[in-house]
Structure 1
Amino acid sequence: MQDMAGHTHQLSQYKGRWVILNYWAPWCPPCLEEMPDLVTFHDAHARHDAVVLGVAVQYKTERSVRDYVDDMLISYPIILGDTQKSALLQPEVLPTTYIYAPDGSLYKVKRGALSRGWLETLLKEAASASK
């Protein structure tokens, strides 16, 4: 998958880290409500144990996505999902977040909005369960 900055992302390159793959659309109110939490979560974890990747779908133009990303100060990579359909899942509900464990396996699918607190709790519970 290639992000809007031209960087390529593969799940395998994040081995040993959690990957939060969040599908969203500019017209989706719950998607937009969860973004500040995703930004703060990514900023707190990106250098250590987790990364957020956003996948924009069902947008009018690339420019509309880019403007939104700039306005919201989104710090995590954004992939234009509509241009890479063959490489990506297509969720039935927006937002949908696929959470991959550090070993690369799909750990959880969350349909609907999430919060930073929910993500933090999920990671803590997973760490406790693996001990």
Structure 2
Amino acid sequence: MIKKSLAIAFLLLLAGFAFWNFAMHKEAEIGIEKGEKAPDFTLPSLKGGEDVSLSDFKGKKVLLNFWATWCKPCRTEMPDMQQLQNEHRDIAVLAVNFTSSEKNHKAVEAFADSLALTYPIVLDQEGINAKYEIFSYPTTFIINESGIIEDIVLGTMTKKEMEEKLGL
């Protein structure tokens, strides 16, 4: 009787451990909220050449910024994003332009050139802004090395605020 009770207790313990282990290693749901895995996308690069995907930056912290040339606050924060990228090569800055709201591709290129931006800028004519439910510009997602959204910031950030959000 004692052996049977010990065997049942042992099996329950093993079952509990298996359940706990499964629950702790469960993949995050894909979504656009804190704690969710950021939806992947692939868009054409402003500079031409190969397309750029969010998943290209897996293993790095990512500052994913949604912007437009007509957005004055975007113009204010973009030089800080460039400085951040220059000083911290271990992170990635990725800027998604709301291209369907722009005059044309050349206007976006002229804007980026005027600010000497070298980090990746992609052109969204496919609705990624809508998929991420972007309603105001700039909007920035802070994504960790595993692709999980750690923070969402509406509005302009300073370089110091960007560094704080990225844990730098």
What is the distance in 1 between the residues matched to 2:50 and 2:88?
19
* Equivalence for 1:85: 127
Shift of 1:86: 5.2
The CA deviation string for residues 30-80 of structure 1, in whole angstroms up to 9 with x for no partner, is 11100110000011123xx21111111121111100011111100111111
SS at match of 2:52: coil
* Equivalence for 1:114: 157
Shift of 1:84: 2.5
SS at match of 1:21: strand
Q: Could you tell me which runs of 5 or more consecutive residues in structure 1 were left unpaired when the two chains were aligned.
A: 126-131
Cα RMSD (Å): 1.7
Equivalenced residue count is: 122
Which aligned runs of 4 or more in structure 1 are off by greater than 3 angstroms?
none
Shift of 1:13: 2.3
Are residue 4 (structure 1) and residue 46 (structure 2) matched?
yes
After TM superposition, list the pairs within 5 Å mapping 1:52-131 onto structure 2.
52-57=93-98, 58-81=101-124, 83-85=125-127, 89-124=132-167
Shift of 1:12: 2.4
* Equivalence for 1:40: 83
Whose relative contact order is higher, 1 or 2, with alpha carbons under 8 Å and at least 6 apart? 1
SS at match of 1:12: helix
- Decide whether the 8 Å contact of 1:22 with 1:95 is kept in 2: yes
Are residue 31 (structure 1) and residue 51 (structure 2) matched?
no
- Decide whether the 8 Å contact of 1:22 with 1:97 is kept in 2: yes
Normalising by structure 1, what TM-score? 0.84
Q: Could you tell me which runs of 5 or more consecutive residues in structure 2 were left unpaired when the two chains were aligned.
A: 1-42
Larger Rg: 2
Identity of aligned residues (%): 31
Normalising by structure 2, what TM-score? 0.67
